[in-house]
Amino acid sequence: MENKKKIPTNTITRDVKNLAAPTGNIYESVVILYKRANQIAMAEKKELTKKLEEFRNDRDTMDEVFENKEQIEISQYYERQPKPDLIAISEFENGDLVYRKAQSENPIEIKGE
């Protein structure tokens, strides 16, 4: 995810034919993009949870959650990052994803993690 700076943070209109070109089928491309975006989202969620866990106090209750400035800054940092689907599309368009069809002996393998 070192290339996040090159990835736009807003939606871009894309030609569906270009997304379908690598696989020959738009539905296969969408499945690959979904799986990669899900991997990215889960990794980011894990990372964010780990960072916010440092601020958790055992004495905190649901009614007494104390948010400090550092927690807010961490959350805002992740909100400003490109969305997982935009990262996945960028990786797909740049040829950074490795995938295989499920019918072959090897299942879809996605490079990047």
Q: Which two tokens stand for residue 61?
A: 């209750």
Residues spanned by the domain of 14: 2-93
DSSP state of 16: H
Please write the tens of the pLDDT for every residue from 95-110: 888 887 766 565 555 5
> Is residue 31 domain-resident?
yes
> Is residue 103 domain-resident?
no
> Is residue 11 domain-resident?
yes
> Is residue 74 domain-resident?
yes
Please write the tens of the pLDDT for every residue from 13-45: 888 898 888 888 899 999 999 999 999 999 999
